[in-house]
Amino acid sequence: MNDFNDWNKMIIEEFRANDGKVGGQFAGMSLLLLNSTGAKSGLPRTNPMAYMTDGDCLVVIASKAGAPSNPDWYYNLIANPEAGVEVGAEQFQVRATAAEEPERTQLFERMATKNPGFAEYQQQTTRVIPVVILTRLP
């Protein structure tokens, strides 16, 4: 396992042990756990990520810290849009949709206002960072 996977594993464990609360650099930040299915492997994948709400939906940003490529979880959701989400102690199913313009830019700007790191990530890359809307399934 690489350092990034170890780091994610520690965040996931802390999240689950504390009903969604995580300390350190994520203290006070709205985090969720996304439980998706690997696009190539078909294996379950869990990723912690910052989110915000938009009405009844959750919104996440596929920033990958400003890397030149999208994160694996984004491709997983494109291939398998139904996923599980953990918010606090609650778990539910969602359908993921990539936001289209102009909604993508509006949502990205809202998230960057809440979490300025996202604006920095956009400055570090030439790609347009995708915004994903997670809609709760009945």
Digitized pLDDT (tens) for each residue of the chain, 138 residues in all: 466 678 789 999 999 999 888 888 888 889 999 999 999 999 999 999 999 999 999 999 999 999 999 999 999 999 999 999 999 999 999 999 999 999 999 999 999 999 999 999 999 999 999 999 999 999
* Triad 53, 57, 58: Cα angle to 5°: 55
Q: Which residues contact 19 (CB under 8 A, 6 or more apart)?
A: 88, 89
Residue 45 contacts residue 9 (beta carbons within 8 Å): no
C-alpha 138/C-alpha 92 separation (Å) is 9
Written as six digits, the tokens of 52 are: 């915000």
Model pTM score: 0.91
80: left (phi over 0), alpha (psi -120 to 50) or beta: beta
Complete domains list, the chain, with CATH? 3-136 (2.30.110.10)
Tell me what pLDDT residue 92 has. 98
Pair 83, 93: CB distance under 8 Å: yes
